[in-house]
Amino acid sequence: MQNKDSLKIEGVVTESLPNTMFRVELDDGRVILVTLKGTLRRRYIRIFPGDKVLVEMTKYDKERGRIIQKYRK
């Protein structure tokens, strides 16, 4: 379920970290720490550095987010 207070922005995965954490460089140049959305984790969607993703962030925390979609190449 989507939250009204969330921001969606595209970015590119730059680094894969332990525990399904990733560093993503957003289109505006910021680098944030993100996790995988639960449905992506359950469906074993593989994310690699260089993948283009859609990130959801709250308006309260601009340093963290979660990957809600992986774009096809």
DSSP code, position 63: S
pTM, 2 dp: 0.88
Class of domain 6-70: mainly beta
Domain locations in the chain as residue ranges: 6-70
**Which pLDDT value is given to residue 4?**
74
DSSP state letters, 10-38: EEEEEEEETTTEEEEEETTS-EEEEEE-H
Residues whose CB is less than 8 angstroms from the CB of residue 4 and which lie 6 or more positions away in sequence, other chains included: none
Residues whose CB is less than 8 angstroms from the CB of residue 2 and which lie 6 or more positions away in sequence, other chains included: 56
Of the candidate ranges 7-11, 37-41, 63-67, the one whose mean pLDDT is the lowest: 37-41
Q: Tokens 């774009």 appear where?
A: 71
pLDDT tens-digit readout, 16-54: 999 999 999 999 999 999 999 988 989 999 999 999 999
**Which pLDDT value is given to residue 29?**
94
DSSP code, position 52: E
* 3-class DSSP state of 5: coil
